[in-house]
Structure 1
Amino acid sequence: MISVAVVDDHPLVRDGIRGWCATADPPIEVIGEFATPRAFLDADRARPDAIVLDLQFPGQAVDLGFVAQLSADHHRVVVYSHRTDPDTVLDCLERGASAYLSKEEGGDRLVEALHAAVADKPFHSPTMAKAMHSGRAAVRPKLSDREREVLLIWFQTESKVMVAQQLFISVKTVDTHLARIRTKYAAVGRPAPTKAALVARAIKDGLITADEL
């Protein structure tokens, strides 16, 4: 069963998310509810498969640093917010969020986004689509240091087996990293389904140089 944590200061929102998750197919278990991102970070808790994260909290300015911090810690972050301005949406995606939804989009779409995030599959909400068409062009996804390392070695070698051998990880782990990289590119409207497409994206975004290939 998928597990999620909900970070939102409104009890009614948390109750709604818990109800949607309980009736999801397959079901989703809410294993933690937190009124602020700091409460989540400071808690002694089990690690969820994904996090539903609001952006606005009482007495605080919107701080997208928490999106980056959680994503850097390899959490799958699904932002669920009233804010829908393109810059905020794209900033969250750049910082590693798996998906961004408006609270007006409802429970079915949030459940769909959570299932996609945990499976490392692309997901596009209407809020994301609008931001990608009206916001900044050529958004660069945020890759972890390990993802960039896997990507470079995969470009330099002939197979995923060789990547796994060089990094002392399993081929399955290599596949997981590459799937997440593709998901991040798809999330910002720049899908890269093939190795050649990923090479082109990575060079354009400055993740690698032609001399490194």
Structure 2
Amino acid sequence: MAITVTVVDDHPAILAGVRAWYAEAGRSIQVIAAGTSVDVAWTAPGDQADVVVLDLNVGAERMPYQRAVRRLVDVGRKVIVYTMQDSEEVALTCLELGVCAFLTKSEGHEHLVAATIAAAENRPYLPPTLAGAIAADRGPAQPRLSDREREVLTQWFQCESKQLVAERMRITPRTVDTYLDRVRVKYANVGRPAPTKAALLARAIQDGLVGLDDL
């Protein structure tokens, strides 16, 4: 089944390039809507897309990027930020807001294609800029996780679904959910919320719970 994408960007050359990269990808990826404002994500067929690729500086209103990202994430959209900004602070803020991945436009088409496939399959993806930002940011307070919580967490990062985690560990998907909910609560309690899989992966890497080799 094809992955459908809405692209929000105000540079015609970028839009043309993204369309071409997806068309040449080994996996079927289709841009079904594109525009210069986040409003395109709510205009048919944009509201049917699996993934939204978002530039942070678009739209005539020039809304703060935090508002644009939150608006998409809060309704369950899978968002990939694709921007010229290379600020570690912006990258981490976007991750905390719930984006699936943060890429700079200098990182090349391979990373955008790979991040799009990962987002559609509910898998985290760490391009170089995001990995560097995560590695440079050490959380001030680490939650105390049990060995079992760490094990479930690592398995979840390696699997496409909680069902696969359950099968590997011979537990129920509901038990997987329970462990992951406990981990999220513990992170929230130390002031480091992790609402999404990508954000939770960032926290785990920051705290040395998992390494890139584990993925």
Q: Confirm or deny a common fold (TM above 0.5).
A: yes
Q: Which amino acid aligns with 2:173?
A: K
- Distance change in 2, residues 1:159/1:137 (3 Å): same
1:103 paired residue number: 105
1:79 paired residue number: 81
Match 1:190 to one of 172, 179, 204:
204
Stretches of structure 1 lacking an aligned partner (at least 5 in a row)? 141-157, 165-179, 192-196, 198-213
Q: How does 1:121-140 map to 2 (within 5 A)?
A: 121-135=123-137, 137=139
Q: Structure 1-normalised TM-score?
A: 0.66
Stretches of structure 2 lacking an aligned partner (at least 5 in a row)? 143-170, 178-194, 210-215
2:186 paired residue number: none
**Structure 1 residue 91 and structure 2 residue 106: aligned?**
no
Q: Structure 2-normalised TM-score?
A: 0.65
Contact conserved, 1:7 with 1:34, CA < 8 A, in 2? Answer: yes
Q: Secondary structure at the match of 1:31?
A: strand
Contact conserved, 1:90 with 1:139, CA < 8 A, in 2? Answer: no
> Displacement of 1:139 after TM fit?
9.8
Contact conserved, 1:87 with 1:136, CA < 8 A, in 2? Answer: no
State how far apart, in whole Å, the 2-side matches of 1:162 and 1:129 are.
30
Q: How does 1:4-153 map to 2 (within 5 A)?
A: 4-41=5-42, 43-45=43-45, 46-57=47-58, 60=62, 62-135=64-137, 137=139
> Displacement of 1:66 after TM fit?
1.3
State how far apart, in whole Å, the 1-side matches of 2:30 and 2:140 are.
36
2:160 paired residue number: none
Q: Which amino acid aligns with 1:23?
A: E
> Displacement of 1:88 after TM fit?
0.5
State how far apart, in whole Å, the 2-side matches of 1:115 and 1:139 are.
33
- Distance change in 2, residues 1:135/1:85 (3 Å): farther
Q: How does 1:169-208 map to 2 (within 5 A)?
A: 181-186=196-201, 188-190=202-204
Q: Which amino acid aligns with 1:105?
A: E
- Distance change in 2, residues 1:36/1:136 (3 Å): farther
State how far apart, in whole Å, the 1-side matches of 2:173 and 2:59 are.
47
- Distance change in 2, residues 1:94/1:183 (3 Å): closer
Contact conserved, 2:103 with 2:130, CA < 8 A, in 1? Answer: yes
State how far apart, in whole Å, the 1-side matches of 2:116 and 2:87 are.
22
> Displacement of 1:135 after TM fit?
3.7
